[in-house]
Amino acid sequence: MNNLKDLNPSSIWRYFNEICQVPRPSKHEGKITEYLENFAKSHQLEVRKDRVGNLVIRKPGTLGLEHGQIVVLQSHMDMVCEKNGGITHDFFKDPIVPLIENGWVRARNTTLGADCGIGMAATLAILADNSLAHPPIEALFTVDEETGLTGANALQPGMLEGKILLNLDSEDEGELFIGCAGGIDSVGAFKYRTEAVPPHFVAFKISVTGLLGGHSGDDIEKGRGNAIKILNRFLYQLDKSCEYGIGQFDGGHLRNAIPREANVIVVVPQDKKEHLAIEINHFRVEMENELMGKEPKFKLVLESTDLPDFILSKESQAKFVNLLYALPHGVYTMSARMPGLVETSTNLASVKFKDDSMIEIVTSQRSDQESGKQDIYQMVESVFLLAGVAVKHGEGYCGWTPNPSSATLDISRKCYEGLFGIKPVVRTIHAGLECGLFLEKFPDLDMISFGPTLKGVHSPDEKIEIASVEKFWKFLTVLLPKLAWAR
């Protein structure tokens, strides 16, 4: 069986399969918006779109619950678009190809988009099913969650009437989330000078591939390799034993994904070819030992390539390599209030040659403390400034402060325990959710976040556990009528 529509619950998998056919990169949600609008019209449901593209689809409550509390079901339209190296896939045109393997659904060589496609699918399944009991529903679909939280930032107060919001964008079944970290991006514009490739030099491409990557919030504490840091570490060490020049450096893609792959074009004197190969072999063994048990598919590859048009000047190269080495990456502090939870972290996300004079270096910082967020982005800023690099910070987004006395949480906890005989875990998450921004605009909202189990989010290893989807669906559909008279 490799057909999602054969899975249970059939309704949620049917809509998830349809969503996989619709391209939806961040900031390019036009096709998925059209799909959702057509869905609303075909089911005679009211739909409203705001100026940035957020959609709200409304459905009245069922008999006996029509005057209950309005419940907002919220998910985001966009997906992280990552693919394996060497794979041809156009995320603006090509559908995602889901595969069923050993109790999980994954995609063929790309991200699956279950973040947050499964939340969207569950919402559509509820909106389409007239046999389910539920209070009035406002289904909120936001744009550009993954790269800028644009939709949540721009949401206007008049778009929602509900006072209870269920965010369907979490990734651990059996856990109810009541808080999240805030975050900010810090981007450096490294201006460089170039020089000609010296005579009698040859060029090589050095690549780091096969890393797990993952979500820079959920996975940052797992000690996974950062392809940019690994590759730059080799360059830093190579400088001590061999003259070389950098013609190109490319690593990472998204601010909220740990870089899985990176490559650099280097030139070395012709008589140093064997030395470079020996250095690569030694470094590969070092990294395999360090990453043992964490990165089973790590690869470091050296291959001949064409000479670049230019290389960085010696001064620019030294500043560049030292800057990448000094920029922090990973966990900065762990929470004392919630043991086991990361409090503050930073992700060295991508390095791109933008033109013949500037390299863009993208980093992102997270913390569940505003002061902690400020501390870590100022640390990153100071490293850029020491290297003489201009740095700009994004607008950032606030965290979601937990409310342990939430009525929605209390009802949800009891509902879960009644259904499955175990207590759900109640916690906060280091990843960013849109809930903090919603709370700024709608201070009376009572919110929780939950979802089925996803692994490898923001990487081509992303997968969703089939059994957890069935539990997620059962919990959601039983919970909805219980929330009708909350508060």
Residue 13: give its domain's CATH number. 3.40.630.10
Other beta carbons within 10 Å of 386? 12
Domain identity same for 171 and 62 = yes
Provide, rounded to the nearest whole percent, the portion of the chain with pLDDT above 70.
99
Torsion on CA atoms 53, 57, 58, 61, rounded to nearest 10: -140
Residue 403 three-state SS:
coil
Domain identity same for 213 and 237 = yes
Which of 18, 115, 138, 145 is an active site residue? Answer: 145
pLDDT greater than 50 at residue 157: yes
d(CA 363, CA 377): 9
Model confidence over 1-23: pLDDT tens digits?
Answer: 468 988 999 999 999 999 999 99
Domain identity same for 386 and 404 = no
Domain identity same for 276 and 307 = yes
Domain identity same for 270 and 412 = no
Domain identity same for 388 and 416 = no
Instruction: Provide DSSP, 253-300.
Output: --TTB----EEEEEEEEGGGHHHHHHHHHHHHHHHHHHTTTT-TT-EE
Our answer to whether residue 78 is catalytic in this structure is yes
Task: Show which of 352, 370, 393 is a domain's final residue.
Answer: 393
Domain identity same for 143 and 11 = yes
Count the helix, strand and coil residues of the chain and give each as a percent rounded to the nearest 5: 30, 30, 40
Q: Which residues contact 64 (CB under 8 A, 6 or more apart)?
A: 133
Q: List the one residue out of 376, 397, 400, 380 whose CA is nearest residue 449.
A: 400
Strands 311-312 vs 194-195: parallel, antiparallel or unpaired: antiparallel
Model confidence over 337-355: pLDDT tens digits?
Answer: 778 889 999 999 999 999 8
pLDDT given at position 147: 84
Model confidence over 352-382: pLDDT tens digits?
Answer: 999 879 999 999 999 988 899 999 999 999 9
Domain identity same for 103 and 240 = no
How many angstroms separate the Cα of 8 from the Cα of each of 68, 105, 466, 474? Answer: 29, 13, 8, 11
Task: Show which of 393, 424, 445 is a domain's final residue.
Answer: 393
pLDDT band at 218 (very low <50, low <70, confident <90, very high): confident
pTM: 0.78
Q: List the one residue out of 104, 342, 359, 29 whose CA is nearest residue 216.
A: 342
Which of 29, 78, 172, 446 is an active site residue? Answer: 78
Model confidence over 83-114: pLDDT tens digits?
Answer: 988 899 999 999 999 999 999 999 999 999 99
pLDDT given at position 58: 98
For 97, the domain range is 4-181+399-485
Domain identity same for 86 and 99 = yes
pLDDT given at position 254: 86
Alpha-carbon Rg for the chain, nearest whole angstrom, is 24
Model confidence over 377-426: pLDDT tens digits?
Answer: 999 999 999 999 999 999 888 889 888 899 999 999 999 999 999 999 99
DSSP state of 422: S
Q: State the total domains in the chain.
A: 2
Domain identity same for 14 and 152 = yes
Residue 191 three-state SS:
strand
Q: Which two tokens stand for residue 434?
A: 């849109």
Domain identity same for 102 and 170 = yes
Give me the CATH number covering residue 210: 3.30.70.360
Which one-letter amino acid corresponds to residue 360? E
pLDDT given at position 294: 95
pLDDT band at 440 (very low <50, low <70, confident <90, very high): confident
pLDDT given at position 182: 92
Our answer to whether residue 175 is catalytic in this structure is no
Whether residue 269 has a cis bond before it, omega within 30° of 0:
no
Mean pLDDT of the chain: 95
Residues in the chain: 487
Domain identity same for 384 and 404 = no
pLDDT given at position 1: 47
Helices (H), 129-192: 150-154
Task: Show which of 347, 363, 393 is a domain's final residue.
Answer: 393
